[in-house]
Amino acid sequence: MTAMHTPSESFEAGVPMPPVAHARFAIGEVVRHRLFDFRGVVFDVDPVFANSDEWYEAIPEDVRPRKDQPFYHLLAENSDSTYIAYVSQQNLVSDDSGDPVDHPAIGGLFDGYDAGKYRLKPHHRH
């Protein structure tokens, strides 16, 4: 008889696996930051934090997100500029404005915009 493993168990005895976090937002989806005034389109997702310790430590401790959640790479915009943002899932909400994001890199990754979502170019899909 073979042993069954739950998602929190490892195949190595006594070594627990981290919980599996599910991404709430998909590549191409337009999102808005929950606290700060910017929005963007998701172009990549890390299942857990995958940036530098220096970046993480620069966030004030009282608003620093947990590392054990999805983090999103965004082509972001605010009223002053466009940039790349790296944001935790807990700090994002869906953007219901219906407006496209005005970022110069969108054309390199996405084909079009429809119903609040960008379509990834075929050669970027995997």
Structure tokens at 17: 């696996």
**Tokens 């608003």 sit on residue:** 63
Q: How far is CA 101 from CA 32, 40, 55, 122, 123, in A?
A: 11, 6, 25, 20, 21
How far apart are alpha carbons 10 and 15 in whole angstroms?
6
Given this model, what pLDDT does residue 7 score?
A: 43
pTM: 0.81
CA dist list (Å): 66 to 4, 19, 47, 87 = 30, 13, 12, 11
Residue-by-residue pLDDT tens, the chain, 126 positions: 444 434 444 345 565 655 656 999 999 999 999 999 999 999 999 999 999 999 999 999 999 999 999 999 999 999 999 999 999 999 999 999 999 999 999 999 999 999 889 999 987 665
Q: Are 99 and 118 in contact (CB under 8 A)?
A: no
User: What DSSP string describes 73-95?
Assistant: EEEEE-SS-EEEEEEEGGGEEE-
Angstrom distance (rounded) from CA 8 to CA 20: 8
- Separation CA 70–CA 48 (nearest Å): 5
